[in-house]
Amino acid sequence: MPKVLISDNLSDKAAEIFRSRGIEVDVKTGLSPEDLAKIIGAYDGLAVRSATKLKGTVLEAATALKVVGRAGIGVDNIDVAGATARGIVVMNTPYGNAITTAEHAIAMMFALARQIPQADASTQAGKWEKSKFMGVELTGKTLGLVGCGNIGSIVADRARGLRMKVLAFDPYLSEQRATDLGVRKVEIDELLAEAEFITLHTPLTDQTRGILDANGLNKTRPGVRIINCARGGLVDEQALRAALDSGHVAGAAFDVFVDEPAKENPLFGHPNVVCTPHLGAATTEAQEKVALQVAEQMSDYLMTGAVTNAVNMASVTAEEAPVLKPYMRLAELMGSFCGQLTQNPISAVALELEGHAADLNADPIKAAALAGVMRPQVDSVNMVSAPSIAQQRGIDVSVTRHDREPDYQTLLRLTVATTKGTRSLVGTLIGGRTPRLVEIQGIGVESDFAPHMLYVRNYDKPGFIGALGSMLGQYGVNIATFHLGRRDVGGEAIALVEIDQALSAEQLEAVRALEHVVRCDTLGF
């Protein structure tokens, strides 16, 4: 039975979902990194919000972990690269709190425009400083969105409802999507020059860190107001403070900070700054939604292999999983076949899909093939870590779909290129479930994948099969199945021989020494 740890405060219904799906669950919140590291090795899954940090010694101790689920969108508290290298799926819930976070950005924009927090504090202190708090209208103002994904697009919709003009900078935003949203897609410099309000809605990456630094702030129009409810670090806080002090920036509203919990910050204390303690997702509805969503996603993965909203691997829906599993198994076996025969550096892996396979989600099939190819050379690789490792090693990976009619209802073709040449396999599924090889190096050879096999390349000469059988008989090694294919009479041939036990190194060398043998390797699946 899979076992999951909930280490941050989630709705009680999350634990109920895990248990209803047949998963054992423990709820232990507020653990120190040292205490978490002591127990994490016993769990297959970890459900967190933002407090738990899956990094460093905690990640190293998570030896059994298969999936970590973040109830929320940001995964800054998770070492995604480290988790990927260890084959751990990292999931988030990007849609569960999108509306709540967008509403908070709009609320912060209103608070900034009308100085509501400052006016509230003044009024409750017994003052009546009506003339001090002169605000600005939002109607007719130009709003610049840095990032127009799930949350940014909701902010755009709400802003247009306020009769604001909306500009958007987002490299991934298509012109058609911008038209549908009613926004104008621009480059960052144009946005900075024109926007009277700027809101940020982008993840924190190497590309977006400091996207509003001193140079960027200098490009903004005088009197701009800046709202950040996305991630601390997108804006250079020291540079923003200087721009506020000079009056170039009229005001700022921040829900996120470089260092959190933010006990002190360069922005604190400025009269034109509004701050909240990372409340973007802090509504009853959002917290309930993301907790239930992360529990469902993790349960689906642990129980069926379905992958939803993973940040480090391809998604597989619950409906797809049963269909894809046999293909993923076939691809992994074919990859393993090639990997066991490969001693030279791999330069490229090409996957081709024909027949029924051509209509499937190819990404998980590709990941499974890569895992099989690299497993003989890389410890603990799986379909989560394989694509990342392939990229790190400079392996060119491609997928091609063919609409031609194959000889079988469904086919996978895998070609692995090395510095010494290429190796190509073709496989199918018998009865839709049983993996079967049907071609090796262009030679038709039908074979199952067995625990102990000999892969023999030889010349098609009389007496070879008898000599091989006699030698194995002398060693007391029984032949279970024998599959033979040849390119032409007397030419190159391939034999796949299933045997009941493994050969010793000496016995393998003796087989290699047989007349007409070009190559002989042992394989195991």
Report the catalytic residues. 231, 260, 278
- Token pair for residue 51? 């407090």
Other C-beta atoms closer than 10 Å to the C-beta of 144 total: 28
Instruction: Write the CA distances from 80 to 90, 274, 524, integer angstroms.
Output: 7, 32, 32
354 DSSP β-pair partners? 411
Distance of alpha carbon 229 from alpha carbon 223, whole angstroms: 20
- Token pair for residue 239? 């540079």
Instruction: Write the CA distances from 464 to 442, 461, 498, integer angstroms.
Output: 21, 6, 17
Phi, psi of 287, deg, nearest 5: -65, -40
- Token pair for residue 181? 């949203």
Residue with tokens 């040449």: 421
Distance of alpha carbon 176 from alpha carbon 170, whole angstroms: 13
Residues 274/117, Cβ–Cβ less than 8 Å: yes
Distance of alpha carbon 314 from alpha carbon 295, whole angstroms: 19
Helix (H) or strand (E) holding 517: strand 517-523
Distance of alpha carbon 374 from alpha carbon 338, whole angstroms: 9
Instruction: Write the CA distances from 54 to 45, 84, 106, 441, integer angstroms.
Output: 12, 12, 32, 45
Q: Is 199 helix (H, G, I), strand (E, B) or coil?
A: strand
Lay out the sheet containing 45-48: strands in order across: 24-27, 3-6, 45-48, 67-70, 89-91
- Token pair for residue 97? 């709190």
3-class SS string, 248-306: CEEEEEECCCCCCCCCCCCCCCCCCEEECCCCCCCCHHHHHHHHHHHHHHHHHHHHHCC
Distance of alpha carbon 112 from alpha carbon 69, whole angstroms: 34
Residues 175/201, Cβ–Cβ less than 8 Å: no
Distance of alpha carbon 106 from alpha carbon 143, whole angstroms: 11
